[in-house]
Amino acid sequence: MLSTDYFQNKVLLKRPYLKNEWIEYVLQNPAKVEIQAEDNRIRYWAFIKEIGKYLRVVTLTDGITVHNAFPDRDFTI
């Protein structure tokens, strides 16, 4: 999985429970995909049973390089 330095050095330190398999699942099976207007990064959401919430994964504009990931408690379809 490709990721930014920010993801490796900030996000994973703050959220060590995140699993690569969850992130890959979200990218391959999104319930919703949205392009951020301000920077064209791409948001993906999918429900992760183990945490009982939707996980939001944000990639760079290439749709592959992971920049951020977190449980999105406010997400609804």
Tell me the per-residue pLDDT of 37-74, one tens digit each, with 9 for 90 and over: 999 999 999 999 999 999 999 999 999 999 999 999 99
- At 16, which amino acid appears? P
What is the residue-averaged pLDDT of the chain? 97
CB 3 within 8 A of CB 66: yes
Task: Report the relative pairing of strands 42-48 and 66-71 from DSSP bridges.
Answer: unpaired
Residue 51: name the closest of 8, 15, 1, 14 by CA: 15
CA distance 16 to 35: 26
At residue 7, the pLDDT reads: 98
Q: What is the pLDDT of residue 77?
A: 80
pLDDT of 76 > 90? The answer is: no
